[in-house]
Structure 1
Amino acid sequence: MTAGASVSCLGRAPRGDARLRLFCFHHAGGGASFYSSWAGRVPAGVEVLPVQLPGREARFREPRFDDAGQAVAALGRELAPLLEEGPWAAYGHSMGALLAFAVTAARLRAGGRRPEALFLGAYAAPHRTPTLPAPDRYEDTELARALVDFGGLDPRFLDRDDWLRALLPIVRDDLRICASHDRAGLPDPDDERARLPVRVEAFAGAGDPLVAPDGVRAWDRYTYDFRMTSVPGGHFFPREAPVPFFDRLNRSLDRILTALDAPPAAPS
């Protein structure tokens, strides 16, 4: 796939001059707009490519995913040509962390190009206590209030039944994706040989009411190269406390760009 071509899960065609593509996967109930400000916050040379799941925002007329295996397979098919074109990394937030990791694992199983790094935010490793509630745990009003409590929903939605009728089915289907993580093709955390040969950097919000740091740290069971950083803010720390988060993320992105620009090592 050449520059200028596009796939349906991206809002625009990728540029041809990016030194590093950063594919960004959004949280449950969210959309690609979560990453609308990122292009101006990351280093020059990094192209931010938000991945839009169907059934919301610009893809609101399309059928939604409600199963992790289905979502990972479809995203993997669409993104595969772009992931082979040049250096790439991925960031996934909350549910997006699960999808980013699973898509990466699938690409590596298929012999595809490995990412320069994988960044995971606000999501416990899948073998730990679920990060998000079960899809049918709450009635609509309770679910809406829970979303407000951890910062995932503007309180004004509580007074707008029409908005909630449009949003909550999306949230429930996304929660079904999270609840079906065992169908996403993830490595066995008890099998060291299954760990991914990929640098994984995980972020935990110091004030996150949903995800404990120990749960985020447990991603170390899925890779040989792991780092976790605690940053200020709650479950949506990139939006709530962007400065310390981007300071940490951009240091990692700068290191990747420097390594990409370095001449190849001379043979010994």
Structure 2
Amino acid sequence: MTTTAAVSCLVRAPREDARLRLFCFHHAGGGASFFSSWAGRLPSDVDVLPVQLPGREARYREPRFRDAGEAVAALGRELGPRLDEGPWAAYGHSMGAMVAFALAAARLREGGRPPEALFLGAYAAPHVSPTLPSPDRYDDRELARLLVGFGGLSPQFLGRDDWLRVLLPVLRDDLRICATHRGAGLPDPDAEGARLPFHVEAFTGVDDPLVAPDAVRAWERYVHSFRMTTLPGGHFFPRQAPDTFFDRLNPALARLLA
């Protein structure tokens, strides 16, 4: 069973003076606060716009998505007018990479403005082995230990069942979004004519225990222009090695501005 959320997904209004809007999509179990420091690290002409999915942080009272197709359709309805207003790009981290790519593909199918580029971090291309575990494979304690192991959860949560009762249902529903990605209208990676006409810049952490570099590189089968960068750190390299990450992201954004 899925739910339909009344999406109000941008944490703030876009800036009218920006030359490029960068819509940012968070990881499974996360929220828009993952990107709270980004505006101070990126070129001033780039408007950083974190996207908040329902059911967490300031939107914690809203019903969560559990299906990728539903999530992408709802995001398209709200963000579509913003995406058509001017040049835009997107960064998606882990689950957010799949969501950002599916949203861009949907905009093209619907005749909307395509992105100048997509930046995809820490997520395998959809046709290879899943990056994240099945939502029902582990019980709560096993899932919590798994999260701690790859850096997605502080070890202090392991002794706090009350905190886990709040966090883990959000994570499991996000994992359901990942598990239903085939319903999000992604192109066929085996069809040369289905490749999308924008650039993808993929990032992977050299010590990421969840996704291998070759699985990230496989995104090149979906687009005409592709580049991959390997960074120090694990699954959450933007937090683990921020200086190196922004040193790689900023020149790519500068090329779009130029």
| Cα drift, residue 76 of structure 1 | 0.8
Question: Which residue does the alignment assign to 1:261?
Answer: none
State the Cα deviation string for residues 217-238 of structure 1 (Å, max 9, x = none). Answer: 0000100100011011100000
Unaligned residue ranges in structure 2 (runs of 5+):
1-6
The residue that corresponds to 1:179 in the other structure is 179
Are 2:165 and 1:155 equivalent residues in the alignment? no
Give, as a single letter, the amino acid of the residue that structure 1 aligns with 2:200: V
Write the mapping of 1:1-268 to structure 2, written as runs, cut at 5 A.
8-258=8-258
Cα deviation 1:108-157 (Å, max 9, x = unaligned): 11111111110000000000000000000100000000000000001111
Which one-letter code corresponds to 2:42 in the other structure? V
User: How far apart, CA to CA, are the structure 1 residues paired with 2:54 and 2:44?
Assistant: 29
3-state DSSP class of the match of 2:91? strand
Give me the whole-angstrom Cα distance separating, in 2, the residues matched to 1:119 and 1:176: 23
Offset at residue 61 of structure 1 (A): 0.3
The number of aligned residues is 252
Percentage identity across aligned positions? 77
Alpha-carbon distance, 1:81 to partner? 0.4
Shift of 1:44: 1.2
Question: Whole-Å Cα distance in 2 between the matches of residues 25 and 52 of structure 1?
Answer: 8
CA distance in 2, matches of 1:193, 1:13: 37
* Matched residue SS, 2:63: coil
- How far, CA to CA, are the matches of 1:115 and 1:126 in structure 2? 19
> Aligned-pair RMSD on alpha carbons?
0.7
How many angstroms apart in 1 are the aligned matches of 2:184 and 2:157? 32
Secondary structure, in 3 states, of the residue corresponding to 2:108?
helix
CA distance in 2, matches of 1:249, 1:76: 25
For residues 53-77 of structure 1, what are the alpha-carbon distances to aligned partners after superposition, in whole Å with 9 as ceiling and x for unaligned? 0000000000000000010000111
Q: Runs in 1 of length 4+ with deviation above 3 angstroms?
A: none
SS at structure 2 position matched to 1:188: coil
Greater Rg over alpha carbons, structure: 1
